[in-house]
Amino acid sequence: MFETMDFDVPDFFLSGIFNDDISGLNQADANAVLAFLHSAAADLKKQGFNLCHWSVKDQDQEPEFKKFHDGNFFGIQACNCVTIQAVYKAA
């Protein structure tokens, strides 16, 4: 059975998350995307889950400017964000 967990991420993370393409980002932003992906998968694994894939929570959502989001820990300041979901299952 699959479960989901919501994350608010900067909208420029999406290409890296869904298309594995960070080519249009500067080095700091590319590193933040990769660190976020690694951290999310590692956190789920610590809790006994395996990350299966990412999905968009709402295809019609508009980016929303947020000061606090799940990219803050990786050095990303306030920016336009969208909500995505990690789809996971028990290991």
Residue with tokens 């947020």: 66
Q: 4-35, pLDDT tens digit by residue?
A: 999 999 999 999 999 999 999 999 999 999 99
Q: 56-91, pLDDT tens digit by residue?
A: 988 899 999 999 999 999 999 999 999 999 999 998
In the chain, DSSP assigns E strands to 3-10, 49-56, 64-66, 79-90
Closest among 91, 89, 61, 84 to 13, alpha carbons compared: 84
What pLDDT is attached to residue 53?
Answer: 96
> Domain coordinates of the chain in residue numbers?
3-90
What pLDDT is attached to residue 47?
Answer: 95
What pLDDT is attached to residue 28?
Answer: 96
Q: What is the pTM of this model?
A: 0.92
Residue with tokens 């999905």: 55
Residue with tokens 């900067």: 10
